């Protein structure tokens, strides 16, 4: 039996290797959220059913291929892993740190180059569907929509020999805790927030507003249509280098953002439609859309990146092809459940409450649910 890291499991998932997972969490936790991939097969049997051994499930397990055992924090899966070894299974792996670690792991992938030197990277939080961005040019960097596990960005900046100068959130997040303030404290970077989302925040910030460009090295991060309400009242898009459109939680590759996470579905449906159907329509079809989330493993490209041309999305994304009545119904009825602890997450991101690390980890467990459908 061997321990395997979240990074190694991510590599297997992204390489589309066949992966058999024995998930020993309870059924509710499993059905809420699991490790997903194009070639991933699951068997969910709660740990309590396996305390005395694995005899009852032996015929459901593959004989000659790897078995990955996962649980919430590692302990239970180690016990089950030992039972599997005792039962004669040879290729048994246990996910180090369990699903808690899986939820937090960030996988950086290069999206492309900038015109005047530098590059843009997407940090894929594969266990949660969150996407954040690291834009570097001429020794400086901007981090957009950072997660709270900020060491990944700091280590990456060291590796690339750049200084993080700016940190910004496209909106006040409701499904994960932002690392913006922590990055500001650790690096001295300027932290930007859309002011309409920041009316209740308890800390100082720079306003992220339309027409106020942010430069990094030789590159301007233009807030071109910038103000793009709908998911939240302050939601703000970024055009980077005239090539990339960072859409936050307004537009995804296979869906669109939900307008109800501050209790405003009806009020914001019109804003959301206006942003998607009018403001975005005025932009170049060639812009590469880089969202803040993805919903399904099918959206991951061959290296794990998530992006699409804006013009392609206007053709293929159902959320961009509805009449007004249909649209209003889609964004206000039959929405998936709201993210776990989303009110507490919003309050943490406003600086109103300061949960400790374990509490923050607990608040974030589970899938992201920022789209109108999964």
Report the distance separating Cα 374 and Cα 213, nearest Å: 34
Of the candidates 6, 19, 22, 71, the residue annotated as catalytic is 71
Q: Where are the alpha helices (DSSP H) in 225-333?
A: 265-274, 310-316, 324-332
Q: What angle do CA 41, 45, 47 make, to 5 degrees?
A: 130
**Torsion angle, alpha carbons of 21, 23, 29, 34, to 10:** -10
Show the tokens assigned to 268: 């914001």
What does residue 370 show for φ and ψ, rounded to 5 degrees? -90, -10
Rounded Cα distance between 192 and 207, Å, is 6
Cβ distance 210 to 108 under 8 Å? no
370 is a catalytic site residue = no
Beta-carbon contacts of 201 under 8 Å, excluding residues fewer than 6 positions away, are 172, 193, 349, 350, 351
Q: How far is CA 250 from CA 21, 42, 124, 200, in A?
A: 33, 32, 18, 22
Q: Phi and psi (nearest 5°) for 83?
A: -60, -40
Of 106, 133, 104, nearest to 119 by C-alpha is 133
Whether residue 285 contacts residue 310, with contact meaning beta carbons closer than 8 Å, is answered with yes
Give catalytic residues, as residue numbers.
Answer: 71
């Amino acid at each position: 039996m061997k321990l395997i890291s979240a990074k190694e499991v991510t590599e297997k998932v992204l390489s589309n290797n066949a992966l058999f997972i024995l998930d020993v969490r309870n059924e509710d936790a499993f059905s809420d959220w699991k490790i997903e991939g194009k070639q991933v097969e699951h068997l969910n049997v709660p740990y309590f059913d396996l305390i005395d051994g694995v005899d009852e499930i032996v015929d459901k397990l593959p004989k000659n291929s790897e078995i990955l055992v996962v649980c919430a924090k590692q302990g239970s899966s180690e016990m089950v892993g030992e039972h599997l070894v005792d039962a004669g299974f040879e290729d048994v792996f246990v996910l180090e740190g369990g699903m808690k670690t899986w939820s937090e792991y960030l996988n950086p992938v290069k999206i492309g180059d900038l015109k005047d030197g530098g590059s843009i990277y997407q940090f894929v939080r594969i266990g949660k569907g969150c996407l954040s961005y690291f834009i570097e040019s001429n020794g400086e960097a901007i981090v957009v929509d950072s997660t709270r596990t900020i060491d990944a960005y700091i280590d990456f900046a060291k590796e690339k020999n750049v200084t993080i100068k700016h940190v910004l959130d496209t909106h006040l997040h409701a499904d994960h805790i932002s690392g913006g303030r922590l990055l500001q404290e650790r690096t001295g970077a300027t932290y930007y927030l859309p002011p309409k989302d920041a009316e209740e925040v308890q800390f100082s910030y720079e306003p992220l507003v339309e027409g106020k460009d942010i430069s990094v090295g030789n590159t301007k991060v233009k807030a071109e249509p910038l103000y793009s309400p709908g998911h939240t009242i302050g939601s703000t898009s970024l055009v980077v280098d005239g090539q990339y459109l960072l859409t936050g939680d307004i537009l995804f590759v296979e869906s669109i953002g939900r307008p109800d996470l501050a209790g405003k579905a009806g009020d914001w449906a019109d804003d959301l439609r206006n942003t998607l159907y009018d403001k975005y329509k005025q932009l170049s079809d060639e812009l590469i859309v880089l969202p803040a989330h993805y919903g399904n493993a099918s959206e991951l490209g061959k290296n794990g990146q998530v992006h699409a041309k804006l013009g392609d999305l206007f053709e293929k994304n159902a959320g961009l092809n509805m009449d007004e009545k249909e649209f209003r119904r889609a964004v206000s009825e039959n929405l998936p459940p709201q993210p776990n602890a989303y009110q507490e997450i919003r309050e943490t991101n406003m600086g109103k409450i300061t949960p400790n690390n374990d509490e923050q980890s607990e608040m974030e467990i589970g899938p992201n649910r920022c789209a109108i459908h999964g």
